């Protein structure tokens, strides 16, 4: 067994060049942390759309205490052949990923309307992704990664890593390819 302690009884030290390299990275990490979610969205070339009105008797978001419950969202801005139909039949997994990413943008638009500043987000708690698929489809997680990856790009891993379900559905409202719900925790006011 190799011991991390030297014969002198002290732990080995990293070479000065390694330590200098790590200190060089600190300003980069600090700069990334200082960026707001809105700045990250702009850097990604994403402008949040105006959220669509609900299509039935519900609201897009409900805040209670420090939690925001976002209703199931499909692609905003209108449905057409690019975002309706079954993933695995009418769309490839890669196309499904892009649809889920766009649904993530739509979720952020509703969240921003509900809370104002996205910097108020303390944690993306849970994502529940539903994919319109044929019965033998098995790659639901790869599709819903489109939304999860977007959240990580916007909020960083410490805030964005969430519990998640990615399931297949025989159909979804208005034949949309993807529908996603999200639960978000806010910082104390």
pLDDT tens by residue, 99-110: 999 999 999 999
Dist CA 144 CA 113 (whole Å): 23
- pLDDT value at residue 55: 87
pTM value? Answer: 0.82
Dist CA 180 CA 106 (whole Å): 10
Average of pLDDT values for 88-96?
98
Dist CA 85 CA 110 (whole Å): 24
**pLDDT at position 19 over 70:** no
The pLDDT confidence band at residue 189, using thresholds 50, 70 and 90, is confident
User: How big is the chain by its Cα radius of gyration, in Å?
Assistant: 21
Locus of tokens 């700069």: 31
Average of pLDDT values for 96-123?
98
**pLDDT at position 22 over 70:** no
Question: Starting at the edge strand that comes first in sequence, how are the strands of the sheet with 163-169 ordered?
Answer: 61-64, 67-73, 178-186, 121-132, 163-169
Convert 35-72 into a string of H (helix), E (strand) and C (coil): CCHHHHHHHCCCCCCCCCCCCCCCCCEEEECCEEEEEE
Look up residue 122 and give its two tokens. Answer: 């303390």
Rounded to the nearest angstrom, the gap between the alpha carbon of residue 110 and the centroid of all alpha carbons in its chain is 14
**pLDDT at position 62 over 60:** yes
Asked if residue 154 lies in contact with residue 107, where contact means CB atoms within 8 angstroms, the answer is: no
The pLDDT confidence band at residue 33, using thresholds 50, 70 and 90, is low
For each of the domains in the chain, give its residue range(s) and CATH number, in order of start: 39-186 (3.30.1330.40)
Dist CA 51 CA 77 (whole Å): 8
- pLDDT value at residue 34: 76
- pLDDT value at residue 16: 46
């Amino acid at each position: 067994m190799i011991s991390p302690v030297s014969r002198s009884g002290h732990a080995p030290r990293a070479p000065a060049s390694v330590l200098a390299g790590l200190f060089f990275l600190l300003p980069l990490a600090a700069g990334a942390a200082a960026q707001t979610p809105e700045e990250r969205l702009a850097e990604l070339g994403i402008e949040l759309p105006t959220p669509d009105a609900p299509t039935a008797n519900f609201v897009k978001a409900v805040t209670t205490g420090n939690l925001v419950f976002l209703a199931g969202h499909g692609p905003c801005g209108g449905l057409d052949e690019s975002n309706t139909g079954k993933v695995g039949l009418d769309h490839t997994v890669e196309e499904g990923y892009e649809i889920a990413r766009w649904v993530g943008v739509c979720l952020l638009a509703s969240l921003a309307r509900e809370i104002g500043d996205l910097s108020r987000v303390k944690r993306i708690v849970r994502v529940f992704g539903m994919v319109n698929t044929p019965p033998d489809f098995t790659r639901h997680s790869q599709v819903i990664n489109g939304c999860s990856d977007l959240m990580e790009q916007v909020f960083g891993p410490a805030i964005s890593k969430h519990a998640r379900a990615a399931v297949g559905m025989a159909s979804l409202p208005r034949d949309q390819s993807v529908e996603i719900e999200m639960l978000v925790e806010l910082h104390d006011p």
